[in-house]
Chains A and B, each alone.
Chain A
Amino acid sequence: MTAPVLSVHDLTVAFATRRGTARVVNGVSYDVAAGETVAIVGESGSGKSVSSLALLGLLPQPPATVTGTVVFDGRDLLRVPREELRRVRGNGIAMVFQDPMTSLNPVLTIGRQLTEGMQTHLGLDDRAARERAAELLAQVGIPSPRRRLDDHPHQLSGGMRQRVMIAMALSCDPQVLIADEPTTALDVTTQAQIVDLVERLQAETGTAVVWITHDLGIVAGIADRVLVMYGGRVVEEAGVDALYDDPRHPYTLGLLGALPVLGADRPEQLVAIPGLPPDPVALPPGCPFHPRCPQRDDERCASQVPPLRQVASDDDGVAHRVAAFYDADPARLRRLDAEGLP
């Protein structure tokens, strides 16, 4: 594999809350290479979004405490001065968020918001920036882009707004694009348009993409590699085919079994993982998944955190790693109560 453009090592994020310390990210490590798409999958509270906010310095400290290293372009982003970090955001690493309505400023025109970054990061003057902004809007498939520059966000549909966000993120030719649930608020046909758009732009520019989502369906279509997060940890990591063909972590297996699949014959009953995800203020000791795990066995599960260990590697040499003491067994999962009741 080529040298990573972004290398995250042992990232942790904790928040001081009234109820105590919330340990939201607990030692996450991954690399992303140029042109590669890495998907980070998890349910709400798994730490998937917070970990990406942390690496761009977007979490106010306090209440957050961030540790670990995030190497980009030879520097540790967690230790560079604010000014330098600001330069990285934009033309180094750009981000697209779930809800384009709250990430766009409602009182500024699309054009103003698009050109601001290019003037700051690329030093373009008004005219050149406006010219480029119109080009970008055309590139992301917005009809009559020049007219749209003078529109305000409320005049656009949700899908169009997300296109504007993507245009904005790509405006300064970033090396890494972090997309945090960029299609969750959109309809499936619009989602297909956006996925298609990001794939096309990535093929043109060679940008590395980190795609954060809860949707294992999307992941199958876009990712090269997948990280599954649970309780603030990566519990499984593999090439996309290996993850779906041969899921090793009981949680991954459970997630796949919980999904209704389009086109399946008379459906089998879905697998319902019992219980609820852990509370980051009161994480269980040992494996974060053990209270819900059908595979739970001896006292090791409840006392030690299973390390992420390599169990296989695929034809391209991509490692398959899993953080579990016991391999997932579909038969055991099937025996669970159908509604996931304890």
Chain B
Amino acid sequence: MTADVLVEVDDLRVWFPSGGGLRRRDGGRVRAVDGVSFEVRRGETLGLVGESGCGKSTTGLALLRLVEPTGGRVVFDGVDVTALGRRDLRRLRRRMAMVFQDPYASLNPRRSIGASVAEPLEVHGLHRGRRQRRARVGELLELVGLNPDLADRYPHEFSGGQRQRVGIARALAAEPDFIVCDEPIASLDVSIQAQILNLLERLQRELGLTYLFIAHDLSAVQHTSDRIAVMYLGRIVEVAPRQALAQQTPAHPYTRALLSAVPLPDPRRERARERIILRGEVPTPLHPPSGCNFRTRCPEVFEPCDRVDPALQPVGSSSHLAACHLHGVVGREEEPQTAG
């Protein structure tokens, strides 16, 4: 691992037992995250984009071990997170934080926002003493553009955008190096989304933060990220520098379809555009297809796709990876199966 890599994820798997209650035994396993590898470099924003159910949020949670990985490794600044005991994990979590989609659901409605922001300080024993803690909370609120006098108010008194600022202040409380932002703007209005994106950018600049920015909105991901990883059905299908996507040269057919489906706020470009309409629906992660996960919907499907599980391989440059046989058949042989 090179020095500029802060987080290294290697063959991460998160499988959930399927079907609750009595059927649990024979329900099989939902492969929410199924062999994901990537790295996040110090100071960068890595975007993780994909549609609902692709496993992007579960990946984010697994990095912090907020869900337990079924297999694989997560190495944070040289420390294997997946091997840590509870006490060491708690210590390490000081350096990793999370911002959630819906700050209304992640803030306790019965605690003042000041108390919520102070929570990580209590957990990690920082800024001990009432006065110091209060001062630190005030500082944090100011940092995210809120008036420190609002510390005694409750979440319901805030708008969605303000609540997200509170969520960010809480994430920053213990001075982390790394923040997983899980759909941080998805539930906000457009004019407020821009406020939050600009805030996250400024904080990154000022505090030297590293972000994993998880979102379904490719335009927002492309705006904020230095590199972008695209997920489909529990796998990463492409990792590209933002310019590669900006110039519309994705290497994986799924990324191409995803890009072509994103509406552009430009009527002329919209009319001129060829849209790739994908056939059918995402298969269930309970029984992913053999070979390539995407083959059941892929417009380019050909012979090896149902029997070779494609590995991520460099396309063009060493920084642009795609898992697709169009760039050479590389991967693990599997028993072909017809169902999808």
Q: Measuring CB to CB, which residues of chain A are less than 8 angstroms from any residue of chain B?
A: 43-44, 143, 157, 159-160, 187-193, 195-196, 214-221, 223, 240-241, 244, 254-265, 267, 269-273, 276-277, 338-341
Contact = CB atoms under 8 A, between A and B. Distances in A.
Nearest to A243: B267
B51 A188 contact: yes
Contact of A263 (B51, B198, B246, B271): B246
Contact of B262 (A188, A190, A273): A188
A220 B270 contact: yes
A136 to B, nearest CB: 19
Interface stretch (B4-12, B77-85, B217-225, B304-312): B217-225
Contacts of B216: 187-188
Interface string B207-220: 00000000011111
B141 to A, nearest CB: 13
Interface string B241-276: 000011110000000011111111111111100010
Contact of B220 (A159, A191, A195, A260): A260
Given A272-B195, A273-B194, A339-B202, A43 B264 contact: no
Chain B interface residue number, banded: 35 or more
B261 A260 contact: no
A125 B98 CA distance: 57
A258 B193 contact: yes
B203 to A, nearest CB: 10
7 contacts: A188-B261, A189-B277, A192-B278, A193-B278, A220-B265, A241-B268, A257-B194
A244 B267 contact: yes
Contacts of B261: 188-189, 191-192
A221 B267 contact: yes
Given A260-B219, A273-B194, A157 B281 contact: yes
A189 B267 contact: no
Given A43-B189, A258-B193, A341-B145, A244 B266 contact: yes
Given A44-B189, A262-B218, A265-B246, A196 B275 contact: yes
Contacts of B257: 189
Contacts of A267: 222-223
B318 interface: no
Contacts of A265: 246
A52 to B, nearest CB: 19
B52 interface: yes
B289 interface: no
Contacts of B247: 263
B222 A189 contact: no
B222 A260 contact: yes
A43 B191 contact: yes
B105 interface: no
A338 B198 contact: yes
Contact of B191 (A143, A189, A273, A341): A273
Contacts of A269: 198, 201
B1 interface: no
A219 B190 CA distance: 14
B223 A217 contact: no
A217 B219 CA distance: 10
A122 B260 CA distance: 40
A260 B264 CA distance: 10
A262 B191 contact: no
**Can you list the 3 inter-chain pairs with the closest CB atoms, starting with the nearest?**
A217-B263, A260-B223, A258-B194
